[in-house]
Amino acid sequence: MAVLFDAKATVEVHAEDVDTANLDLTGLTIGAGSNRVLVATIAIHDINPPPVFTVTWDPTGTPQGLTLITSINNGNNYTYLYGLVNPASGNKTLRMSTTGAHTEVFLDAASFTGADQTGGATTFANAATNTGTSTAPSVVIASAVGNMTIDSVNAPQVINTPTMTEIYSKNDGVLTSAAASYGDGSASNTHQWALGASVAWASCGCDGGDCGLLGSGHRQRATAVAKLAGSGGDGQHDAA
C-alpha cells in the first residue's frame, strides 16, 4: 500500500515569547484512512537550550503521545521531528507542553495513510543531517516509489519556492522563519527552498514512516526531511 497525503493543519502555530505551559495546534482533521501516521514539525529559536517539552495528540480526550524522531540545532535555533502511528481520526488538538519559556516557536503537522505501523525506527527511520551556507537549503532523502518524504526548514530569511508540495510557510517571525513540504517517494527525493539571502543552515531528517525537520540559528537556516515507509513492505525500513 502506497503512503498517501491525508491532511494538514489549516494554519500553523507561531508564537513569540512563549511562557505558557501549552501551545495548541487546533486546525488539523485526520481522516479515517487505514495505516495512519502523524508527523509534527517544530522549529524553536531560544537564547538558551530549550526547556523540556512533550507533544500530544488529543490531550483532552484520549491522549496519544508523539515520539521524538530526530532533532538538531545550529546556534540558537533548534528543530525537531515527532511522529505517531495510528493517530485517532477527527478534528483534535495537537499540543506542545513545555516546562519553560521559549523565545520563538513554530508548530505544524500533517497526517498520512498507508504507512508502516510498527513505529519507532521502522516507521521513522534513517535519520540524516546536512549543513551549508547558501540561498537554497535542501535535504536529499533516499526513498522509494510508494513512500513519502517530508521536510521542515527554519531560516532567518524569506522562505519560498519549494521543489515539493508546500505544507506551510511562515515569514513574519521576529528572529527566523519556517516552512515545510512533502513529496511522493522516488529513489532519491530532494526537498529544496529559495531564500532571500545566503545564510548558514543545518538540517536533519528521517527515512521511514514519514517525517522531516530541521533547525538553524539566528541568521541561519535549517531543514529536515523524513521518509514514510509504505505499509506494503515496498519501502526501505533500515534503522538509522
Looking at residue 133, its pLDDT comes to 86
**pLDDT at 215 exceeding the cut of 60:** no
Percentage of the chain lying above the pLDDT 90 cut:
33
Phi and psi at residue 122, in whole multiples of 5°?
A: -80, -45
Query: What is the average pLDDT across 93-116?
Result: 90
Percentage of the chain lying above the pLDDT 70 cut:
83
Looking at residue 205, its pLDDT comes to 65
**pLDDT at 218 exceeding the cut of 80:** no
The residue assigned the cell 540524516 is 128
Q: Which residue has the higher pLDDT, 186 or 218?
A: 186
pLDDT in tens, 149-205: 888 888 888 889 999 999 989 888 788 888 888 988 888 888 899 989 998 776 666
pTM: 0.86
Confidence of residue 43 (pLDDT cuts 50, 70, 90): confident
Confidence of residue 227 (pLDDT cuts 50, 70, 90): low
Looking at residue 234, its pLDDT comes to 44
Query: What is the average pLDDT across 36-56?
Result: 87
Q: What is the 3-state secondary structure (H, E, C) of 66-109?
A: CEEEEEEEECCEEEEEEEEECCCCEEEEEEEEECCCEEEEEEEE
**pLDDT at 28 exceeding the cut of 90:** yes
Query: What is the average pLDDT across 220-232?
Result: 60
Looking at residue 213, its pLDDT comes to 29
